[in-house]
Amino acid sequence: MREQDPQARAKNFEEVACGYSIEDALRESERCMLCPDEPCIAGCPVGIDIPGFIQKLGEKDFRGAYDILTDTNLLPSICGRVCPQETQCEGVCTVGDSLEPVAIGRLERFVGDTAIKEGWVNIPYIEPTRFRVGIVGSGPAGMACAADMAKAGCDVTVYEAFHQPGGVLRYGIPDFRLPNEVIDAEINNLRKLGVKFECNTLVGRLFTIEQMIEEMGFHTVFVGVGAGYPTMLGIPGDSLNGVLSANELLTRCNLMRAKEFPNFDTPLPLGHRVAVVGAGNTAMDAMRVSKRLGAEKVYCIYRRSRKEAPARVEEVHHAEQEEIEFHWLTNPVAVLDDGKGSVRGMRCIRMELGEPDDSGRRRPVPIAGSEFDFETDLIVYAIGTNANPIMGQTSKLKLNKWGYIGADENLATSVAGVYAGGDIVTGAATVIEAMGAGRKAARSMKAYLGIRDSSLPYMAQDGNGAGSLFGIDLKERNFARVRVA
Amino acid sequence: MSRFEIIKREDFSDVTYLLEILHPMMAKVARPGQFVIVMLHEHGERIPLTVADFDRNAGTITLVIQAVGKTTKEMQQACQVGTGLYAMVGPMGIPSPISHAKKVVCVGGGLGVAPVYPQARAFKEAGAYVIGVLGFRNKSLIFWEDKFRACCDEFIVCTDDGSAGIKGLVTEGIKQAIAMHSDIDEVVAIGPPIMMKGCAEATRPHQIKTMVSLNPLMVDGTGMCGGCRVKLGDKVKFACVDGPDFDGHLVDFDDLMTRLRRYTKEERMALDHWEKNCRMQKQIEAASALPASPAPASKVKR
């Protein structure tokens, strides 16, 4: 796929990956062997009929490809950009056994973007029910759940604390990876399904989850508020000016548009030498944002090696192209003070890999006496998040020992009618996993409400499904589709 | 047109003004000590403001604002009755724990005078003996004296120049209250960090529980960015979701004050940029001989 030149793009916020042309997409679609065992479908957290949409694409039936995609995934433009395909569909692609796997994510994005450009939207025939559904959080989990519940005929209201909907897609992921227009388009699709968005609403404080069920007339509620609460390292100098969380940097830059300061009012700390601690997707975003804001040097400080870095392969690759300096096997031990309350530098220690730990990755162990100092004026922590405490403070929802909301395998919480999914249940994960959780919760919520619909390809939860669920064929998709020009 | 309509405005001085904003749902649940985050317009920043009062019947939230930076100065110009805010979210933060204390001193200075009022009233309603201590620069800046007198059993005003009440800082008022009452259970102090630090130091020798309300820089106000983190002894807390009220004897005020200065340079830039635009606007208007925009209201408008 064509990309912006690394030198040029490191100075702008335009999208890095330019997307496929029609010719590119057709050529790539031909590489799919349409193999009968369809490993990619099983590799997708939401079970998209991947060979199905690629086949339509190859036949130049782009609308047909879009129809198949939107049967299971409402947000193809988003997922095509931000899913970690290499560990999902593309990771199990049969072609990938011997050659590069089929670029499923890029094809998905092509179809999604074509739909946005052409103004396509699939409004299924919706039989209204009397049910009202409340959704807390307008991020990927909430959006996916809202789509399924709206398609099932429910009256859906999504609550968002920020002044614009989209959750992490809006405040977290920078424009050069996921342009705002794409988020707007996908949210408008939800509005066309009848979903209402209420921003500036802090659920828990303005009203509680219990009140939604008992007083506000919601029959069921989904909680997808994300993990929030960034982790600080807890080393000396943590509270110095010039140390901030990646969430703060990204929110200021993306949602509040601090990159356009002073035309937008929110300021942003600008560093000449920026050190980002961590090597996940958020860390990559923070580094590449810093580069675009004009930093001369951007360092990545990570205590494990490149192999263990949790970021998407493409993101690490893009960061390397943009001249981010990676310091693998390096762990911060202190932030150094300039004597005026700001950051002067950082002290780190070299690490080596020891025995595998609980996560199966080799545990990094410090090398004695290998401390060294370097100069930096801005330090960004991208080392994960803890559970946001607001739900726990304001509701009777049972929390697990880490403070996340406790949910069973159907994503039901301890309060009847209330379901939860995404980062607030699992801890920080990916956009597509949150969407998968939103859809799984929607299935449970429909069962709770007694809605039986066949608009979804039901997936057996275990091996005992024996090809049917309550007598419905697992592959059944017999809803009527109404096309809107 | 706007969603968060301003239905009343009152100017206490050339820098302090009061806004009443219609939000019946929030007015129903707001409690003393909580705050809101507002945005003036789509290009604005999110600023936290402590709820100064709420009227459950009228459905309004009262904010008292000091025009000190770009946003608060712009609001002073733009926020007139009938206009509205682009965003207001809340009530945020854990409500102040109104304890069963029998005798309480409620201290307010500068920005903190208004937000300490609902706490004083709540303590009074809970049956406590309430001593109000308020600090102003001079007599002409005093506001809400009647409201405080209505809910305080004793009321002490301190002014920097002695033009009303005691000459000196609120800490003088606290000392006077402690001298006269040996059985004070709790002190609540809200105001600039340096004042709250002084209050905490004044009560420390007497080991009187002292609660302070912190107002550090915030972005989201929901615990997501960590910009508002404060040091409490050896712990780090987020003022937005773990506070904003904390034990004043544990708060590291020096750290708080340093962190409040993080964006001083940018704040100056934003203010200059805006003032320059305002001047240009005026010149354009003068040049094209258009009628000047209405002067900012100086009296109560309803």
- Per-residue pLDDT at B3: 80
The DSSP symbol for A253 reads: I
CA angle B247–A237–B50, rounded 5-degree value: 35
What average pLDDT does this structure show over B189-209?
91
- Per-residue pLDDT at A176: 84
List of chain A residues whose C-beta atoms are within 8 Å of the C-beta of residue B25: 206-207
What stretches in chain A show pLDDT beneath 50?
454-485
Choose between B243 and B210: higher pLDDT.
Answer: B210
Q: Per CB distance under 8 Å, which residues of A are interface residues toward B?
A: 161-163, 171, 199-202, 205-207, 226, 228-230, 232, 234, 238-239, 241, 244-245, 247-248, 251-252, 256-257, 261-269, 341, 388-390, 393
- Per-residue pLDDT at A453: 53
- Per-residue pLDDT at A258: 84
- Per-residue pLDDT at A108: 92
- Per-residue pLDDT at B30: 93
Min Cα separation A386/chain B (Å)? 10
CB-nearest partner of B220 from A199, A207, A251: A251
* B224·A228 Cβ contact <8 A: yes
Chains A and B form CB pairs within 8 A to the count of 133
Most B-contacting residue of A243, A266, A343 (CB-CB within 10 A), to test interface:
A266
What average pLDDT does this structure show over B7-15?
90
* A241·B258 Cβ contact <8 A: yes
- Per-residue pLDDT at A476: 41
Q: Tokens at residue A113, please?
A: 């973007």
- Per-residue pLDDT at A359: 77
What pLDDT digit, counting tens, does each position of A100-116 carry? 899 998 999 999 889 88
Beta carbons within 8 Å of B95's beta carbon, 6+ residues apart: B31, B32, B33, B34
Amino acid found at B113: V
Percent of the residues in chain B that have a pLDDT greater than 70, as a whole number: 95
Min Cα separation A239/chain B (Å)? 8
* B29·A248 Cβ contact <8 A: no
Residue of A nearest to B240 (CA): A390
Min Cα separation B125/chain A (Å)? 23
What pLDDT digit, counting tens, does each position of B247-262 carry? 999 999 988 988 888 8
What average pLDDT does this structure show over B232-258?
90
The answer for A328, left when phi > 0, alpha when psi is -120 to 50, beta otherwise, is beta
What pLDDT digit, counting tens, does each position of B114-133 carry? 999 999 999 999 899 999 99
What average pLDDT does this structure show over B65-91?
90
* A251·B86 Cβ contact <8 A: no
- Per-residue pLDDT at A164: 92
Residue B288 has pLDDT above 80, yes or no: no
CB-nearest partner of B89 from A202, A228, A267: A202
What average pLDDT does this structure show over B259-279?
85
